Structure formats: C-alpha cells, structure tokens
Amino acid sequence: MRDWLRLVRLPNHATAVADVLAGFLVCSGMRALDWPPAACWLAIVASVCFYAAGMVLNDVYDVALDSEERPERPLPRGAIGLRQAAAVGSGLLAAGSVAACATAVVSGSPWPAFVGAALTAAVWAYDRHAKSTPLGPAVMGGCRALNWLLGMTAAGGPAGLPQWLIPLGMGTYVAGITVYARDEAGRSRTATLLCGMVLMLGGLVLAAGHVWLPARSLSMLGGAPLPVTTWLALWGIIGASILARAAAALVDPAPGRVQAAVGNAIMSIITLDAVLVLASCGERWAVVVLLLLAFFMFGRRLVPPT
C-alpha cells in the first residue's frame, strides 16, 4: 500500500483539493460555513483523479530514467508492475473526465466538462511528450491553472479579470516550481534555479492582482474585515518565505537542498490558496482550506511528496 501511496504522491493531493475548493469559494463568494454543494465535491473528486493519474503516468513513462536516477521509486524497484500502473493511471484519467462531466451536469454549466477535457489532454501531453521539452513547465503550470478553473467553473466561472488572475498566477507559480525542480535528482544549475524563482515570484505577483486591482479605490477586501495593505503584507511575507527557502539552495544546489525547497514550495500552495480565500470569503473558510496542511504533513510522514 505504501508503494501505491508513493506512486500517486499522496501528500500533494491536498494541494489539488485546496485549489478546487478555493476556486469554488472565490467564485461563489460563500461566507457562511455551510456544507459545499454537490458540484464542489464532484469537482474535488475529478481533481484528485486527474492528479493521481498524472503522478502514476509520469512514473510509467519515466521508468527507464528513474531506473538510473531514482531507483528507489516503486516502478524501478518492481514493487508495482508497469502494466498494472499504466492501467490504473489510464483508469484514473477516465474517472476524472467522468467526474468533471458529472460536475457540469450538477452545476448546470458545460464549462467544467470542457475544463476536464482540457485537463485530460494536458496531463497526458505533459507526461507523454512535453515533460522533457522546454514546454514542460508551461504545460505543468497549465494543469495547475486548469485545476483552479475546475473549481471556479463549478461555481459559475471567474467574474472579470481579477478572478482570472488567480489561475494565471498560480499556474505561473507552479511553472516556476517545475523549472526549479528540473535537475533535482542531480546537482542543479544556478541559472535554472534563478529562472524558476523569477517565475514563482511572477506568479505570486499576478495572483495578488486578484485583490489589488479591484481594491485600488477601496479600503476593504470585498467587505471582508481585512484592509488591503494587511492582506498584501501577509501575501508578501508568505511569498518571501517561499523564495528565501528556494534561495538557500543557490549556495549549495545539492539534491537534498533543492528537493526540500521544492517540497516547501508545493506545500505552500495550500497556504497561498487559503490566503486567496481569505480575501473573498473571510477567515472561517480560509482556516478550512489551511487545515489541508494537516493532511499534507501526515502524508509526508508516509511517503515523499516529490
């Protein structure tokens, strides 16, 4: 069982759930701490299936490379059969598509189905073709942006440019993580790490536009009891802590340091999602999203997130 949990990268599923839940909350504007509707839950199921499929198929297509660079992973060790993993990955991808279509039916909007189709194509394209090309980080970032849109379309979709900046920003942030982690199995190049950090910073700035643009002439965040300057300061502190951890590996880009920084940047997606929810829905829902960190931390004790 632990081999399967490692194959699907169990801890990271908390970040996928956080994206969809946050996207739904931001677009629905829910303030009361009520049980989310069925469309939200179906979107979460679809997201988990897509994420798990992406992780499994990633290792299926990388089994030859992992045999040299990461022989401790389940497929190179022979703990899980290659055909079995490929069948499970394909099945999860199909299940994600079905759940996205069910989200469309329940929500009364066709857009979750379209986003699910785009995610299916993006996950397959990244794992099968784009990963080792210069387009790899952009496709991976696109997967994260589409994951946000899966939750957003389940609630009716983004309303205006500020809300569109969130999936664009978080997608850019994850593209930066992907660039940063490009050579994590060996000794990373300083230029690659710097490029990844610049993209991560750019993504954080874009996502902050969700609050800054509509609040330029206002003193509060959509009626929430939090001044814009306070929210921006909180966002900046979290972003600075992520980048500081990433910068530490510039001094000694050994695999352990880089992988620790990557794990921290991935885990921080949950915190970033919670702060984005804070701006739109208040502190109670932000705390709910933040509680997903407990799942991430528990899962990380069982299997590594990278």
Cβ–Cβ under 8 Å, residues 143 and 170: no
- Could you tell me which of 10, 11, 9, 33 has the C-alpha nearest to residue 21? 33
Cβ–Cβ under 8 Å, residues 199 and 179: yes
The whole-angstrom separation of Cα 147 and Cα 51 is 9
In tens, the pLDDT along 203-244 reads 999 999 988 877 654 444 445 456 788 999 999 999 999 999
Phi, psi at 128, each rounded to 5°: -90, -35
Handedness of CA 152, 91, 179, 262 (dihedral sign): positive
Single-letter amino acid, residue 41:
W
Angle between helices 255-281 and 161-180 (to 10 degrees): 170
How would you label 148-161 residue by residue, b for 16+ Cβ within 10 Å and e otherwise?
bbbbbbbbbbbeee
CB atoms within 10 A of CB 251: 9
CB atoms within 10 A of CB 271: 19
Token readout for 197 is: 């950090």
The whole-angstrom separation of Cα 302 and Cα 24 is 29
Global pTM reads 0.92
pLDDT, mean of each 10-residue run, the chain (306 residues): 91 95 94 93 98 94 85 89 94 97 97 97 93 92 97 93 94 96 78 95 95 62 65 95 93 86 94 94 94 93 80
In tens, the pLDDT along 21-53 reads 999 999 998 888 899 999 999 999 999 999 999
Q: Which fold has domain 2-302?
A: Tetracycline Repressor; domain 2 (1.10.357)
